[in-house]
Structure 1
Amino acid sequence: MKLAIHYPNFSFPGGNTAIAPLLAATARAADEGGASTFTLMDHWFQMEAFAPATEPMLEGYTSLGFLAGITRRITLGLLVTGVTYRYPGLLAKTVATLDVLSEGRAMFGIGAAWYEKEHKALGVPFPPVAERFERLEETLRITRQMFGDDDGPFEGKHYQLAETLCRPKPVQQPGPPVMIGGSGEKKTLRLVAQYGDLCNLSAPDVETVAHKIDVLNQHCADVGRDPAEIEKTIIFGQNPLDDTDGFLRTMESYAKIDVRQVWVSNRGTDDPASWTTEVCDRVLPRLSEI
């Protein structure tokens, strides 16, 4: 099983001047320690379930560009891009740029968006959920077209592009791997089956994730897709250093239902770089054997 590091917190002793050095050191620790993927959030305010909205939050793609220049092997992405925040043609160009500058290490994570407070505060339209999913599907189609050889127009319900020109193309072809975030059974997992290379599931317990994978497999059957083409991944909410043996036993259970990558995060530590180094040293060698 692979290890992914998620970096959701920018509130550390030292204030704003500590943000860049800590982020850089943590990404380098993940890169050098053998983690597979390093992700940030696509938010403009801190999530209120985690900390007050007034706590620091960096813009995601600017931050990933910074990390692309100081890492060498690790995959970089957002967990996950909110579809409402950027016009899809411009988003495709942004992701292609990240892939070129990272020399083929971008991951395109995307979802339907949910944080209404930041939309209202910053003047971003926040359509009803059904429309957000329609826009998500059109965005997936547009980015696929822009990453490929078709520079022609796109005519959708919500987006109309006269040209889908994108130069340079992403280094990865037919484009960076697409990860669709969320576990919704009717819409999200259907989109994963049709467009995704990875799914990302919250992991309250093995039984819940197994059920979600069964639903995904049925959607794959409906659209004629081999479910083995989609990498199953989970977000795990507990610190693997608190009970490493217990964490690894749990991951063995997830591996049995075809989960291949787990995200852990640095919440609750003032030294995320040292935490990441310790996770890579203590947990990753044993996790890689599962």
Structure 2
Amino acid sequence: MDLRIFTEPQQGASYDDQLAMAQRAEQLGFDAFFRSDHFLRMGDGDALPGPTDAWTTLAGLARETSSIRLGTLVTSATFRHPGILAVQVAQVDAMSGGRVELGLGTGWMAEEHVALGVPFPERRFGLLEEQLEIVTGLWSTPDGESYDFDGEHYRLTDNPALPKPVQRRVPIIVGGNGPRRTPRLAARFATEYNQSFPEKADVAAQVARVRAACEDAGRDPDELTFSVAFVACVGADEAEVRRRADAIGREPAELREHGLAGTPQEVLDGLGALAETGVSRVYLQCLDLTDLEHLDLIAAAVMPNAG
């Protein structure tokens, strides 16, 4: 089971906070450090120090880490034009020596778009589909050739399709819990399919839908990595679980039900149940970016026994 660290910096974290956690995660041997792509705090609380841009942050982390993979869960299709996004991701991939992954989704937080002055169309799935086609099309265009696209939402003409990423194929993560369109999109474009904060009882059925969509598309479903994201709240004892839950404004019982929480053995049991559904990668959402000891505990008591 691959364990990755996933953060929500818009809840109150500076670049230095993110750097400290990414470097600690790298030192401890976690597979990757991912962050959300949001510009507005969710819920009540102090909004300081303010948001940080996902791809600007990842560019910095690319130069200040050396081995850990970096990415977004997920970049919103409403925030960036796909032609610009392809350049940004390819550049950060080069800056990292080929360690970048791109999670791409429709975006969902209407209030955030109002605050930023960014359009938030009611129907966004078409935007996402065209963005995936454009970004992957630009990266796969042979050197010396240009790329054209004429869609409902975007039109590109004589694009030189440069720069190219360092990786032959930047991993593309498609996420969502929809029963029909999302599985088809994952089967067509993704290297990884992610369910973020699903009901645990629903994970296996959604994995089956995506596998069936791959088969319908003539693709081997075993080519796809299946992943989930859950809030992590791990403590050596119940007092530590309670302290970490209080720090993020959550209840231990609720976190045990909907996240990966409790003692290391409880979390290992949860990971084992997920593995039985076909999941092989888990994003541990660590909401307190100042609690680096949380990562230490997971690395020492969970990761070696996670399979």
Question: Quick check: TM above 0.5?
Answer: yes
The C-alpha deviation readout for 1:207-239, integer Å capped at 9, x for no partner, is 310000111112112211111111000112241
Matching residue within 132, 142, 145 for 1:140: 132
Equivalence for 1:266: 286
Task: Please list the CA deviations of residues 7-35 of structure 1 after superposition, one character each: whole Å capped at 9, or x if unmatched.
Answer: 114666xxx7xx23322111011111111
Runs of 5+ consecutive residues of structure 2 not aligned to the other structure: 236-261
CA displacement at 1:205 relative to structure 2 = 4.6
CA deviation digits over 1:50-97, x for unaligned, max 9?
A: x45845321100111111111111110111000011011001111101
Q: Provide the C-alpha distance between the structure 2 equivalents of 1:65 and 1:11, rounded to a whole number of angstroms.
A: 20
What one-letter code is carried by the residue in structure 2 that aligns with 1:106?
Answer: V
Q: For the residues of structure 2 that align with 1:205 and 1:244, how far apart are their CA atoms? A: 21
Matches of residues 197-216 of structure 1 in structure 2 within 5 Å? 197-216=191-210
User: Pick from 277, 292, 303: which aligns with 1:257?
Assistant: 277
Counterpart in the other structure of 2:74: 80
Cα deviation, 1:137-191, whole Å, max 9, x if unaligned, reads 1111101111112522111111000133233310111x31000121111222211
The 5 A counterparts of 1:1-290 are: 1-9=1-9, 19-48=14-43, 51-52=44-45, 54-55=47-48, 56-129=50-123, 132-150=124-142, 151-173=146-168, 175-241=169-235, 242-267=262-287, 269=288, 271-287=290-306, 290=307
In structure 2, do the counterparts of structure 1 residues 271 and 220 end up closer, same or farther at CA, with 3 Å as the change threshold?
same
- Structure 2 Cα separation of the partners of residues 53 and 142 of structure 1: 38
* TM-score normalised over the length of structure 1: 0.90
Total equivalences in the alignment:
277
1:273 CA displacement: 2.4
CA-to-aligned-CA distance 1:233-253 (integer Å, 9 cap, x gap): 011224133321011011111
- Name the SS of the counterpart of 1:281 in structure 2: helix
* TM-score of the superposed pair, with normalisation by structure 2: 0.85
**In structure 1, the residue corresponding to 2:226 is in which secondary structure?**
strand
CA contact (8 A) 2:9 2:35 kept: no
Compare 145-154 and 104-113 and name the one that shifted more: 145-154
Q: CA deviation at 1:256?
A: 1.7
- For 1:57, give the aligned amino acid: P
Q: Distance in 1 between matches of 2:175 and 2:216?
A: 20
Distance 1:31 1:270 in 2: 15
Q: What is the one-letter code of the residue matched to 1:124?
A: V
What amino acid is aligned across from residue 170 of structure 1 in structure 2?
Answer: P
Structure 1 residues not aligned, in runs of 5+: none
**SS in structure 2 opposite 1:237?**
strand
Of 78-87 and 180-189, more deviation after overlay is shown by: 180-189
Distance in 2 (alpha carbons) for counterparts of 1:43 and 1:203: 17
Deviations along 1:101-137, one digit per CA (max 9) or x if unpaired, are 00000001000111111111221111113xx111111
1:145 to 1:9, Cα distance in 2 relative to 1, 3 A: closer
- How far the C-alpha of 1:38 sits from its partner, in A, is 0.6
CA distance 1:2–1:221, change in 2 (3 Å): same
Q: Distance in 1 between matches of 2:40 and 2:200?
A: 31
